[in-house]
Structure 1
Amino acid sequence: MSVPAWFARTVFRAQEAAMKRPTFSVLAGLERTQWLSPEAMQVEQAARLNQLLQSALLHNPWHAGRLREAGLNDRVQAGAVALADLAALPTMDKRDARDHVEQLVWRGVPGGVFRYTTGGSSGEPLIFYFGRARQAADAAGRLRARRWWGVEPGAREVYLWGAPVELNKTDRIKTVRDRLVNQLLLNAFEMSPARMDEYLGALQAWNPLAIYGYASSLALLAAHAEARGIVLRLPALRVVSATGEPLFPHQRELIERVFGVAVSVEYGARDAGLMALESPDGVLLQMSETHLIEVLDVAGQPVADGEEGEAVITSLVSEAQPFIRYRTGDVVRRSTRRDPGGRGLGVLDAVMGRQTDFIVAADGRIMHALALIYVLRAIAGVGQFKLVQHALDRLEVQVVPDARWNETARAAVIEGLRTRLGPALAVDLKLQDAIAPEASGKHRYVVSHVPLPSALAQKAEAA
């Protein structure tokens, strides 16, 4: 049973206040700043950048040293850094963030710091810290985007999700909390045919206004409904939001055909934060107030709008552990267009990078690849990794070990994977100096050669 939207919104506000997250005040600010002109938006960004750099100079020794070496110290202290000045700083990457974490984290940040680990889709799991400002910005950004689609805070939503943090809390108390804020969680790590039948029934009973989930999991559920001949009746549904990986054209078409509404793509990352969301006009709008996004070539130089390059971000809400000129490893293309809706937010044409695959267990369960990525990312000693499923009962695990690797780590990898895929799983663990990219040049960190028994079995290479 759902509760009235006004009640769910009240509970959500109370929850955010109790957690000391200024989500709704940030939302009010985003509702205002999105209508700034592009020129006024740059002024807003410059002000926020100077605040971030001043904080970094005071509280983050690694960044402070870089600012001094770049000759920006005086301008930072004066609050006079221009957006163009940022290019004087060298870029940073995951290794920098991992190796210098104690010189990067500001443990005294107002509201406290919270430890997190990336999903490892880049092949290099990262432990990092974020604060209340980052949490509030991500939540407010999603709330703003939902409003673009006519979905107000407190409306019924479904989450096709599965991070272990959420799964560990799906107890009685959390289920009650979810219902009080009108959220229904479906586990994307457990998508057997029988379980997906249950999900389709739950969706129709819940009749959500919005559905949010991994792109490939949403497509898998849509393919299952179509294969079953189930015509979904979701009269309240306004939008399906796809996140976590690129959405291929055939997946978009499938989801929109089955669910009967448009798909809105979300672009974000655990470490970098929420960076762009798709509007009803079909454009991917940047979170310009909270992120600067540079698009650079292999030499680190800016590419022209309309050309592909690596997304290098500066999160303006990352003072707990600043990500400044951070190389995401994602390939994106900035648009030459403006927002047709009149907002001053930047526009991305596409996000081409980061894709995962599905893993099929011997008992027929279909699991999102992140279910295995989470196993590897949590084990000390695993520097980089790649998983290749050759058969239902055979998994190749390539590991580039770091200094913490030992036999305990080896045993943890094997035990963790067998816990997910079954005790009979044959694990071929190979220690390597490096992991080569695919023939296409892409770095895919989970690859399954086991075909899916659904419409999703079609190849995505042409997308």
Structure 2
Amino acid sequence: MHPYLSRHLLYPLHESLVKRPTFKYLAELEQSQWLSRPEIERLQGTKLKALLRVAYDHCPWHRKRIQEAGLELDGETPLTLQDLRRLPTMNKQDALENRDEMTWQGVPGGAFKYNTGGSSGEPLIFYFGRWRQASDAAGRMRARRWWGIEVGEPEVYLWGAPVELDKTDRVKAIRDRLLNQLVLNAFEMSPGNMDTYLEAIQAFKPKCLYGYASSMALLAAHARERHTKLILPSLKAVCTTGEPLYPYQQALIEKVFGAPVANEFGSRDIGFTAHETPQGQVLLMSESIILEVLDPEGQPVGEGELGEAVMTGLCSEAQPFIRYRTGDIVRQSNDTCQRGRGLHVIGEVIGRSTDFIVRSDGAIMHALAVIYVLRAIEGVAEFKLIQHTVRDVEVLLVPSRSWQAEANPQIIKGLQARLGDEVRVQIRLLDQIPPEISGKHRYVVSHVPLPAALKIAANTNNVPQSRRETRKLA
């Protein structure tokens, strides 16, 4: 499809039909990013008051907390960050256990059930509305424009896909092609498939590649091993997401694909959060999110210090996430955008990393392929999957009160659908899952070695460095 038709006709028509105000919000974002920092924070305060009014009127769990904090929601004066901090923080367990009391089912446009990727080991089912969807889409569109990539221009996604396509999935595939989007399955990265992916990317002539950081690095390592020479003159950027991007991964991806890497930060529960600029800065989507960086005692950290990202989703009316502890670790920064935008700057995103899984036929799969199976099982509070061999998998599982023994065969069937029918799955129920010796929690661990030439793409031993340091190393 010609990019002009996709950008000006098909994409806006699609968003209008599903009642998402994506392009309206995109126009607002293009203007608001140039506000000064105080003006941005005043806009945040106005949106925060509107969100708290929604939470007070429609979400009993939030109403009680707002009342106890003594927050004044009348009048037009914007709230401040100090006002917000009168509320206690919330976490995934709060959102899980009190979902019904914090969800506005009557939100305009409808409330849609969704779930997190489960990479934290704690799957979360929650609701989001059309404004959250629009915020995610419009935020990415604006960030792409920072790199010279326009809406509707060819884009390849290296992303997760179901084992078998149902009718809805086939409709989505047709929609993707009309919007000039090609989706390649990151869960099926066998050598043969990766050869096909490289050919498809070459033929599609994308302006942007988008996918999991580790999967993109794996594909780049495969291309290098095969001595595949990619010629992609239209490619403006490779956008990575889902996990930390390490310096050696970035260098490999940039060398193989011949374009700079731009890292994205976000999560399913909070949504699209931040994106890297061509200048190497990570800019927060400040119009949609208030970010606090807090220490273990819940106090703000100082300039340059690491802390937990605690976020308030200003477009989360369906199920408000207010002072939500994400579990992600970031570095506090008081820097300003080098191009003059008023958006807040994130010094560094540590985040979480995942591992690869090797299927019994040798295909290399992103860890989310098995995470998706476990997160969908009712009654799973926490989990850890350990791949001992290509045919032996152990699942450590902490059951919740809704756990039923009938879930065991569901887990086995789901994992065998991903890993192969001959794979033996042992399930162990525990009261708690101990962390690694390092003190870190890893939720998918594979002891199956990757081919030597591909190890660089899956190496997660190094700690991610700041983006400025990464640029120098690359």
Structure 2 residues without counterparts, runs of 5 or longer? 464-474
Counterpart in the other structure of 1:460: 460
Counterpart in the other structure of 2:380: 382
Q: Does 1:35 align with 2:34?
A: yes
Q: Hey, which bits of structure 1, 4+ residues long, moved more than 6 A?
A: none
Counterpart in the other structure of 1:21: 20
Letter in 1 for 2:174: V
Counterpart in the other structure of 1:104: 102
SS in 2 for 1:15: helix
* Between 176-185 and 378-387, the greater mean CA deviation after superposition: 176-185
CA deviation digits over 1:70-107, x for unaligned, max 9? 121xx123454322111111110000000000001101
Indicate conservation of the 8 Å contact 2:333/2:347, yes or no.
Answer: yes
Letter in 2 for 1:462: N
Counterpart in the other structure of 2:148: 150
TM-score where L is the length of structure 2: 0.94
Q: How many residues align?
A: 459
Counterpart in the other structure of 1:317: 315
Letter in 2 for 1:314: T
Q: Could you say if the C-alpha distance between residues 4 and 454 of structure 1 is closer, same or farther in structure 2, counting changes exceeding 3 Å?
A: farther
Counterpart in the other structure of 1:46: 45
Counterpart in the other structure of 2:412: 414
Indicate conservation of the 8 Å contact 1:120/1:126, yes or no.
Answer: yes
Distance 1:102 1:297 in 2: 30
Indicate conservation of the 8 Å contact 2:357/2:387, yes or no.
Answer: yes
Indicate conservation of the 8 Å contact 1:224/1:454, yes or no.
Answer: no
TM-score where L is the length of structure 1: 0.97
Distance 1:167 1:83 in 2: 45
Distance 1:150 1:352 in 2: 27
Counterpart in the other structure of 1:138: 136
Counterpart in the other structure of 2:469: none
Letter in 2 for 1:134: R
CA deviation digits over 1:361-405, x for unaligned, max 9? 110111111010010011111110011111111111100001121
Mapping for residues 34-433 of structure 1, pairs under 5 Å = 34-72=33-71, 75-80=72-77, 81-164=79-162, 168=166, 172-433=170-431
Indicate conservation of the 8 Å contact 1:276/1:286, yes or no.
Answer: yes
Indicate conservation of the 8 Å contact 1:310/1:332, yes or no.
Answer: yes
Letter in 2 for 1:460: T
Indicate conservation of the 8 Å contact 1:223/1:454, yes or no.
Answer: no
Indicate conservation of the 8 Å contact 2:301/2:332, yes or no.
Answer: no
Indicate conservation of the 8 Å contact 1:50/1:76, yes or no.
Answer: yes
Mapping for residues 430-445 of structure 1, pairs under 5 Å = 430-445=428-443
Letter in 2 for 1:430: R
Q: Could you say if the C-alpha distance between residues 240 and 228 of structure 1 is closer, same or farther in structure 2, counting changes exceeding 3 Å?
A: same
The CA RMSD measured in Å over matched residues stands at 1.4
CA deviation digits over 1:26-82, x for unaligned, max 9? 00000001001111111111011011011111011100000111121xx12345432
Structure 1 residues without counterparts, runs of 5 or longer? none
Distance 1:378 1:101 in 2: 17
Distance 2:120 2:160 in 1: 19
CA deviation digits over 1:178-233, x for unaligned, max 9? 22111111011100000000000000000100011011110010000000000111
Indicate conservation of the 8 Å contact 2:395/2:425, yes or no.
Answer: yes
